[in-house]
Structure 1
Amino acid sequence: MTTVSLRRSIGHLTFDHVLVRPETHRPAPATVLVFHGMEGRSDAQLAIAERLTGWGCQAIAVDLFGEAVSAGGAQRCADEMTAFLGDRGALAERLSAVLTALTEVPEVDADAVAAIGFCFGGLCVLDLARAGHPLRAVTSFHGLLTPPDWSVDGVIPARVAVHHGWDDPLAPPHDVVALGAELTARGADWQLHAYGGAMHAFMAPFAAQPERGIQYHPVVAERAWRSLGDFLREALPTD
């Protein structure tokens, strides 16, 4: 596979996105955007992007915080995430700007883009769908599910899949039910996979704080990954 830096500036900020694509002379038929969690753009994202290329698509590890924040370390990234959670309007603006920048990249077919996200990134891809951006599909893994304080009318165009650990303290059952009602009211094509015995961050091999409800679950992680493959094959064009 090949990696290409897609460093882009938005206003006074610089974002270090990374395109990962199969080693082939043909353009990839579809692109999957991979949104990070609290840790910022990371090697974990690149590993996910590399796995995605095995399905014939290309992937972009999205930098949502910007290089300056990532360079500030874990606490700076955590503070940035907290600020966005407190201002979902500002998050929507950042998401829209980053999405626009990436879909204008020559290597990307803007009509064949999906987005997946983990933890905070899961909330981000749901907010992209809520805003009505013309994505083919979005998938949230152990994401935060609460709606933003802004609303948009009309049908959600993206297909939506949510993978949720039932024992996730950051997304209790009433949030799950509320999300289902919200997506139904917006006419979305949506599906929910809830996994018993799984906590927050069940896809993250480094997650090991069960006392806080944060724990990797390899069996559930593999089930969720296989389901993602089926979902993307249904939603995206292939060779």
Structure 2
Amino acid sequence: MTELIVDVAHDGATLKNLVVLPEGTGPHPAVLIYHQWSGRSPHEEGAARALAGLGYIGIACDLYGDAKRGTTQEENTALMMPLKDDRAKLRGRLLSLVNAFAAHDAVDADRMAVMGYCFGGLCAIDTARAGARVKASISFHGLLGAPEGLDEPQIHSSVAIHHGWDDPMAPPEHVEAVAKELSARGADWTLTAYGHAVHSFTNRDANAKADGMAYDARADARSWRALTAFLSEHIGS
């Protein structure tokens, strides 16, 4: 595997994305990985390397610029909220990443997917909501609320949502709302809820179940198997 940093400019920010290329001659199918609220981290970078081992280009995206990372809840919130509160700006940033990597020589633009964790899970669903020409959008313990005041183009992407049923950041009414939204918009979608799992169930460093954030090995393993099957179905390998 080969690793490199690819810069993408958007709205005054330089997004520094870790790209992990698989062995063999390209172009290859590619998966953009959106990060949790703290910024691009070893969690997303590890997923990129694991996907490269399966024959995909794994791209751990930087949504904040200059690979900024928070180290406290206050810093993480300060990084995330300007994008979470401005979904039009977030949409532009997500589409800029998709379009930039669709034009990359190593990427098969007809076989692209996006996925994300927590805040990145919302970004994965928002990429589909924006009408991006990707084949699959996968959310892991993501925030689910729809943007307000934005247009609703045709959803081209198949959507898979992996949700911890006890996640306090995505209560049952949010789950029902996103299901109704995707159905009303004619999307191909699936939603899997993992019993007893809470927020951040794929993150081995999450250990605050009293606050609704904890790793769950069973949900992590099951959702990864589901991911690989979904990617194989929609973009091959």
TM-score by length of 1: 0.93
Provide the C-alpha distance between the structure 2 equivalents of 1:28 and 1:169, rounded to a whole number of angstroms.
Answer: 41
Shift in Å, 1:9: 2.7
Structure-2 change in CA distance of 1:120 and 1:231 (3 Å):
same
Give 1:215-230 correspondences, 5 Å limit: 215-230=214-229
| Unaligned runs of at least 5 residues, structure 2 | none
Partner residue, 1:21: 21
1:121/1:143 contact within 8 Å kept: yes
Partner residue, 1:198: 197
Shift in Å, 1:5: 1.4
Partner residue, 2:41: 42
Shift in Å, 1:109: 2.0
- Structure 1 residue identity aligned to 2:58: A
SS in 2 for 1:110: strand
- Structure 1 residue identity aligned to 2:216: H
Pair 1:63-2:42 in alignment:
no
The superposition leaves residues 41-98 of structure 1 with CA deviations (integer Å, 9 ceiling, x where unpaired) of 122211001111232111111111001743x755444312022222212211221222
Shift in Å, 1:160: 0.3
Structure-2 change in CA distance of 1:68 and 1:223 (3 Å):
closer
2:13/2:64 contact within 8 Å kept: no
Pair 1:232-2:231 in alignment:
yes
SS in 1 for 2:107: coil
Structure-2 change in CA distance of 1:68 and 1:195 (3 Å):
closer
1:165/1:195 contact within 8 Å kept: yes
1:130/1:152 contact within 8 Å kept: no
SS in 1 for 2:7: strand
Provide the C-alpha distance between the structure 1 equivalents of 2:228 and 2:145, rounded to a whole number of angstroms.
Answer: 26
Provide the C-alpha distance between the structure 2 equivalents of 1:10 and 1:86, rounded to a whole number of angstroms.
Answer: 17
Shift in Å, 1:10: 2.8
Partner residue, 1:171: 170
Give 1:123-202 correspondences, 5 Å limit: 123-202=122-201
| Unaligned runs of at least 5 residues, structure 1 | none
- Structure 1 residue identity aligned to 2:7: R
- Structure 2 residue identity aligned to 1:83: P
- Structure 2 residue identity aligned to 1:144: L
2:114/2:138 contact within 8 Å kept: yes
1:202/1:214 contact within 8 Å kept: yes
Instruction: Name the % identity.
Output: 40
Pair 1:113-2:140 in alignment:
no
Structure-2 change in CA distance of 1:128 and 1:150 (3 Å):
farther
The superposition leaves residues 170-219 of structure 1 with CA deviations (integer Å, 9 ceiling, x where unpaired) of 00001001110000001111000001100000000000111111010011
Moved more, 34-43 or 115-124: 34-43
SS in 2 for 1:198: coil
Provide the C-alpha distance between the structure 2 equivalents of 1:112 and 1:193, rounded to a whole number of angstroms.
Answer: 24
**How many equivalent pairs are there?**
236
